[in-house]
Amino acid sequence: MTNPATHSLSEFQIAMRTFRKNRLAMLCVMILGALYFSAIFAGFLSPYSFKSERREHSYAPPTRIHFVDESGEFGWPFVYGIKLSFDEYYKRIYQEDRSVKYPVQLFNHGDEYKFLGLVPMNIHLWGVEEGGAVYLLGADNRGRDLLSRILWGGRVSLSIGLIGVAISFSIGLIFGGISGYYGGWIDNVLMRVAEMVMMVPGFYLLLALRAAVPPEFSSVQVYIAIVVILSFIGWAGLARIIRGMCLSLREREFVLAAKSIGLSDFSIIIRHILPHTLSYSIFAVMLSIPGYILGESALSLLGLGIEDPYSSWGLLLADAMSIVKIRFYPWILIPAFFIFLTIISFNVIGDALRDALDPMMKAEGQRS
Amino acid sequence: MSLLTIKDLTVVIDNQAQTPIVKNVSLRVEAGEIVGLVGASGSGKTTTGYSVLGLLDPALAVRAGEIIFKGKNLLRCQEDYLRKVRGGQISMIFQEPLNAFNPVFSIGYQIDEMLQFHSDMNSEQRHKRTLELLDLVGLPEPQRVVKNYPHQLSGGMRQRAMIAQAIAANPALIIADEPTSSLDVTLQARIIELFQKIRKELGLSFLLITHDLGMVGHLCDRTAVMCQGEIVETGETTKIIDEPQHEYTKRLLGALKV
């Protein structure tokens, strides 16, 4: 098919073409791509592990990377040592120790981690040699590198959205599909259940469910518990909308035709009805991922989510809850910027997808 | 024994005692025969066709009667068996293929789906068979049509694709519900030719539901005339057209001749 005008594009491909023309959305796709990439390769990209701490560097400010040495010569980047002193109020003051120089090393050997969670490795993309310390975004109260912790924390914060959405949308689609296709008392029962979930204010339900999780859970179990809790809250709204769409879709003749070729009710729902809700589902997914990320952040912020020494963006922000700390160590607010960036990106992409996938809205936009 | 026998079929709305939509209808289709079921809109002919496959709207219910297909009463069969019959033994051609095809899947996918459920071919064989079927129903460039979506085909091509889907799993009977009503006259003639060709080559039976007596005259061996839920006249097509007995049949024929 050399001629691009040949009728071989599906509706979805046409929508994707429109989507690609949206520059802002494409920028957000790239931002998210970079964030997910850095989360996946967090171990390799970060100079330290999320739990390697140096108490003597508590709240060390961001380290400057120098390109020009004392003699004024431009060369390979390096950092100076860190010198700790106290002022008359015993406040920690960090200064550069100009007597020692640590060049930045590429592919240096540092903390052990598991590459992609499988292969044990200790090679990091960059870092400085033993003895020196580099905190590009500063350090936290236990002297852990904030950049490393943000990258590691991204694994939790970013994956929770995707996994949570996958679970709650599967439930929502099946619930809504069955409810709308059968109607009658099945519809009544399923929708009343959905309404019961929707009735309770989300955040309090979240707290209540979290309280039901045993405190002795390991961090992995807590992570799974949070995902399940968030999905449990999220499916109901979608189920209602899908149900409404299915109610009208089941009257279409192709459903009867599908029945006439011998498909079972379940196959009809999965193969013939739900695909029609796909365009709605895709942007609904995008627009609901931020909710999961914020939910996890809120839980971790309140100390109910991921626990130290593990890292998540919400947990990192918990440290920034005191105004005094923000006043003296402003860099601990940086994780908020990552949350902000992620959520804005998902919202912009979701909006752009809605515009691209919904031809009716597009037509309206052209008319106005 | 006939291929399909409908005996005293009565269909009512919501099990209420009002006038039934279909009243004591009896009909029989022999193997290799084309039977016409003629009547005005609302005479209950489509409802009769749908009840054979158990596709009735949930608001309608079969009150009485038997539908015997290959010796089994379909009204008493389990849903599992009915699913095998639908498409596999009896398939359906709808009036408006644009609505009957799912707009989000390609024609090839939808014919393939029929084969998936009613044959044990692998995907390669199914693809080959799909192309053969499209060729059999006279669609040019089957390779291209396979990838097309329903809205990309013309009305006549869509109806041919629908027929290809209907015959895909080698059924014994095809119920065609007003298969040509949405087409213009020249296309109607081509579809009638196609039906004759299929009957000759594959030995299928047809139950042709239509209001078009011209089509019945060309195609059907026997014809039943339905009026207000009842069969008022039945017999050889030639006999019905030449010497109509019932008042309603005469009026139908009169309307045609105007």
Q: Label residue A154 by pLDDT band (50, 70, 90).
A: very high
A261–B contact, CB cutoff 8 A? yes
Q: Which of A252, A259, A263 sits opposite B99 (nearest CB)?
A: A252
Nearest to B234 by CA among B27, B22, B95: B27
pTM, full prediction: 0.80
Host domain of residue A259? 151-367
Residue A14 lies in a domain: no
The per-residue pLDDT for A178 is 95
Q: What percent of chain B has pLDDT over 70?
A: 98
Question: Which residue, among A6, A9, A261, would best test binding to B if mutated, counting the most B CBs under 10 Å from its CB?
Answer: A261
Do A82 and A198 lie in one domain? The reply is no
Residue A144 lies in a domain: no
Q: Which of A7, A254, A257 sits opposite B152 (nearest CB)?
A: A7
The per-residue pLDDT for B257 is 65
How large is the average pLDDT for residues A118-140? 86
Do A249 and A303 lie in one domain? The reply is yes
Q: What is the pLDDT of residues A300-309, one digit of tens each?
A: 888 888 888 8
How large is the average pLDDT for residues A83-97? 86
The per-residue pLDDT for A37 is 95
Do A177 and A275 lie in one domain? The reply is yes
Residue A265 lies in a domain: yes
Q: What is the pLDDT of residues A33-61, one digit of tens each?
A: 999 999 999 988 988 888 888 888 888 88
The per-residue pLDDT for A9 is 64
A272–B contact, CB cutoff 8 A? yes
CA distance A294 to chain B (A): 35
What CATH number did the domain enclosing A189 receive? 1.10.3720.10
Question: Which residues make beta-bridge pairs with A94?
Answer: A84
- The continuous run of DSSP H or E covering A140 comes out as none
Do A203 and A109 lie in one domain? The reply is no
Nearest to B82 by CA among B101, B94, B67: B67
pLDDT above 70 for B110: yes
Do A246 and A332 lie in one domain? The reply is yes
Do A166 and A279 lie in one domain? The reply is yes
> Does the interface predicted TM-score (ipTM) exceed 0.95?
no
Domain count, chain A: 2
Do A230 and A324 lie in one domain? The reply is yes
Residue A336 lies in a domain: yes
**Closest CA in chain A for residue B149:** A10
B33-54+79-257 under CATH 2.30.40.10, yes or no? no
pLDDT above 90 for A321: no
To the nearest whole number, what is the mean pLDDT of chain B?
Answer: 89
The per-residue pLDDT for A134 is 87
How large is the average pLDDT for residues B191-211? 90
Question: Residue ranges of the domains in chain B?
Answer: 33-54+79-257
Which chain B residues are closer than 8 Å to A251 by Cβ?
none
DSSP annotation string for A201-254: -HHHHHHHHHHHS-TT--HHHHHHHHHHHHHHHHHHHHHHHHHHHHHHHTTSHH
Do A197 and A324 lie in one domain? The reply is yes
Q: Label residue B151 by pLDDT band (50, 70, 90).
A: confident
Which A residues 217-256 touch B at CB under 8 Å?
A: 252-254, 256
Do A86 and A122 lie in one domain? The reply is yes
Q: Supply B223's token pair.
A: 């014809």
Do A190 and A123 lie in one domain? The reply is no
Q: What is the pLDDT of residues A210-239, one digit of tens each?
A: 888 887 888 788 888 888 888 888 899 899
- CA dist A229 → A127, A201, A216, A220, A308 (Å): 38, 14, 17, 14, 20
Do A119 and A91 lie in one domain? The reply is yes
Do A268 and A329 lie in one domain? The reply is yes
To the nearest whole number, what is the mean pLDDT of chain A?
Answer: 86
Instruction: Select from A73, A108, A139 the last residue of a domain.
Output: A139
Comparing B230 with A368, the larger pLDDT belongs to B230
